Structure 1
Amino acid sequence: MLFRQLFDAASSTYTYLLGDTVSGEALLIDPVFEQTTRDLSLLQELGLTLKLVVDTHAHADHVTAAWLLKQKTGCQIASAAVINAEYVDLPLHHGQRFGVQGVELEARATPGHTDGCMSYVLSDQSMVFTGDALLIRGCGRSDFQQGNPHTLYHSITEQLFSLPDSCEVYPAHDYNGRTQSSIGEERAFNARVGGEANENDFVGYMDALRLPHPKRIAEAVPANLRSGRPPEDQLPLQPEWCDDLRITYAGVPEINLEWLMAHRKELTLLDVREPNEYEQEPLPTYLGNALQIPVGNLHDRVAEVPNVLPVVALCRSGKRSALATNILREHGLTHVASLHGGWLALPQG
């Protein structure tokens, strides 16, 4: 199984990608609306097809990307049936097994943070994705959204602590840079429910918390009951200058050769190879003239790059042009991209 843990800094949310390298199918757990481009880029780079998006609960601190990913990929949406969210294709019940080809999960109802909280256990019980029910050395709050500390205590101790000690715990959030734990660790060391803590200890702890409500609760909860569908179906806008811009997982804007050829007269082409490379491997004549500035000199010569037309940078393989694109952006140019594959992607002859 291919596994990736992704992070949204604005909401301290973890998104999890689980994929099967044989079938090429993948699922995402708790995707964030603003990170859709990142997640789609990673899927494309890893050669995976998104088949399923799964939310652990109706989050109060961010908007899910479920609906948007469904529009872009045709994937299905899954979440707890009790939430009754719109646009859900697979309403999940306690004990239900689901997933994609090569990756099977078991849904376990773990309410208490919200009524609709579910944790997802990998079929071999080596991993559990706990949402906000169990965090690393903590747990989700229980003072709003149908929260109940008694219910949460039983969810953790009966549903999650019944898993093997070696089962790795992957929560929906962490606010201190921690990435994973284990059931054994949390059973022993969790500050709220671990060690010798009983239900009275846990409920007393939770009732004494005085936490401010999440800043985006008024926006996030109603949106998540629509599976993240925005008002009037407003999708994130593509840049006006390019209708086929792709942002790589590394964060570099790229265009392909077909788009370059179709819009060549509307662009400045910037060749960032070294002078000896220009001579040994000149650009094909069908690309016309290019501005030539080696990437090592670009910081000092960026003023030579006209800011009238969009700029497409190229090099031999697309690596140095990616750096050049970031340099141009650092200097305030916004309509910039790297040519995917560089000179090697050009038809020769």
Structure 2
Amino acid sequence: MLFRQMFDRETCTYTYLIADPNAKTAVLVDPVLEQVERDLQLLKELALTLLYCLETHIHADHITGTDRLRQTTGCQGCVPAGASAACADRHISDGEVLTVGAIAIEAISTPGHTDSHLAYRVNGERLLTGDALFVRGCGRTDFQSGDAGILYDSVTQRLFALPEETVVYPGHDYRGHTCSTIGEEKRWNPRFAGRTRSGFIDFMGQLDLPHPKKMMEAVPANELCGNLAVTA
């Protein structure tokens, strides 16, 4: 398996390239519009055919590169079931498995940051957690139908139930971390370790974070899979 973690510095977003080097087929998870040329160049250099762009959720901090990648490569744009994105080619449900050559990518429903959110488990070994779980943190829950109690349940009941050696790859990082494990996060993530559900709800309710700078343009654009021509 070919696995690459790529970073957008402006929004601290991770995009993931997952490919079967034998079948020469690939997916991108959470592509960023400003990084489409980077992604296309890498696909070209590695002689990969892009089958899917997978979104973990409808993002508020960046505009997805899915529409531009879809126009260029003919790939399918995929979003979580229930997400407000009629533009998508596929809506992925909990437990659904996408195959990319010999690679199996299982969708795990993890709402709470938003009301429709997926984590993606790759070959049972790597877990792309989007904004549900960060390295020693988690996504916020104060807009886009977020719910702190539901996020707590998603992380503690769905993600923390996976094998502890599962490697965690987050959707963002703001402190230089690249990955972790389920075992580490269960023990050391300060938002969950030793914290009750009610304590987590209280903690998240007191964060008082500013809204993402691109929120007003990103959310409507991402509901159109990043097609800026429609929003103009």
Give the TM-score category using the shorter length: over 0.9
Q: CA deviation at 1:71?
A: 0.1
Shift of the 205–171 alpha-carbon distance from structure 1 to 2, 3 Å rule, reads same
1:335 corresponds to = none
Q: Which amino acid aligns with 1:131?
A: G
Taking structure 2 as the reference length, the TM-score comes to: 0.97
Corresponding residue for residue 136 of structure 2: 137
**Structure 2: how far apart are the matches of 1:220 and 1:59?**
7
| 1:87 shift after superposition | 2.3
Aligned to 2:227: 229
1:231 Cα offset (Å): 2.3
Paired position in structure 1 for 2:50: 50
2:85 aligns to what? 85
Runs of 4+ in 1 over 3 A off after TM superposition: none
Q: In the alignment, what sits opposite 1:157?
A: 156
Match of 1:326? none
**3-state SS, counterpart of residue 83 of structure 1:** coil
The residue aligned with 1:199 is 197
Contact 1:32 1:63 in 2 (8 A): yes
Shift of 1:27: 0.3
Asked if structure 1 preserves the Cα contact closer than 8 Å seen for 2:87 and 2:223, the reply is no
Partner of 1:272: none
Q: Which residue of 2 aligns with 1:101?
A: 101
> Residue 36 of structure 2 aligns to a residue in which SS?
helix
Q: State how far apart, in whole Å, the 1-side matches of 2:109 and 2:135 are.
A: 19
Equivalent-residue separation in structure 2 for 1:209 and 1:232 (angstroms) = 35
CA contact (8 A) 1:67 1:87 kept: no
Per the alignment, residue 337 of structure 1 pairs with none
Q: 1:139 to 1:24 in 2, by over 3 A?
A: same
What is residue 73 of structure 2 aligned with on the other side?
Answer: 73
Counterpart check, 1:2 vs 2:2: yes
- Which residue identity lines up with residue 64 of structure 2 in the other structure? T
Alpha-carbon distance between aligned partners in 2 of 1:77 and 1:71, rounded to the nearest angstrom: 10
Match in the other structure for 1:181: 180
Quote the offset at 1:14 in angstroms: 0.2
* Separation in 2, partners of 1:72, 1:105: 23
Whether the 8 Å contact between 1:52 and 1:99 is mirrored in structure 2 is no
Distance in 2 between residues matched to 1:231 and 1:101, nearest whole Å: 33
| Residues 25, 48 of structure 1: 8 Å contact kept | yes
Instruction: Confirm or deny: 8 A CA contact 1:132 1:140 kept in the other structure.
Output: yes
Pairing partner for 2:210 from 209, 212, 219: 212
| Structure 1 unaligned regions, length at least 5 | 235-349
Q: Please provide the CA RMSD for this pair.
A: 1.2
Instruction: Give TM-score scaled by structure 1 length.
Output: 0.65
Alpha-carbon contact 2:221-2:231 (below 8 Å) kept: no
- 8 Å Cα contact 1:96-1:107 kept in structure 2: yes
Distance 1:70 1:233 in 2: 17
Q: Deviations over 1:155-211 (max 9, x none)?
A: 0001100111000000110001100011000000001012x2211221121111110
**C-alpha distance in 2, partners of 1:25/1:148?**
36
User: Is contact 2:220-2:231 (8 Å) kept?
Assistant: no
Q: Is the 8 A contact 1:60 1:216 kept in 2?
A: yes
Deviation at 1:232, TM superposition (A): 4.5
Question: Which whole-Å CA distance do the structure 2 matches of 1:126 and 1:152 have between them?
Answer: 22
Change (3 A) 1:156 1:232: closer
Q: Which runs of 5 or more residues in structure 2 are unaligned?
A: none
In 2, distance between residues paired with 1:80 and 1:136?
22
Tell me the CA shift for residue 118 of structure 1.
0.7
- Report the Cα distance in structure 2 between the residues aligned to 1:127 and 1:203, rounded to whole angstroms: 28
With a CA cutoff of 8 Å and minimum separation of 6, indicate the structure with the bigger relative contact order.
2
Write the distance in 2 (CA, Å) between the matches of 1:192 and 1:9. Answer: 25
CA contact (8 A) 1:27 1:99 kept: no
Following TM superposition, by how much is the alpha carbon of 1:22 offset from its aligned partner in structure 2, in angstroms?
A: 0.7
CA–CA distance in structure 1, aligned partners of residues 104 and 85 of structure 2: 23
**Whose radius of gyration is greater, 1 or 2?**
1
Structure 1 residues 109-133: Cα deviation after superposition (integer angstroms, max 9, x where no partner): 100000111101113x210000000
Distance 2:231 2:131 in 1: 28
Q: Equivalent residue of 1:136, what SS?
A: coil
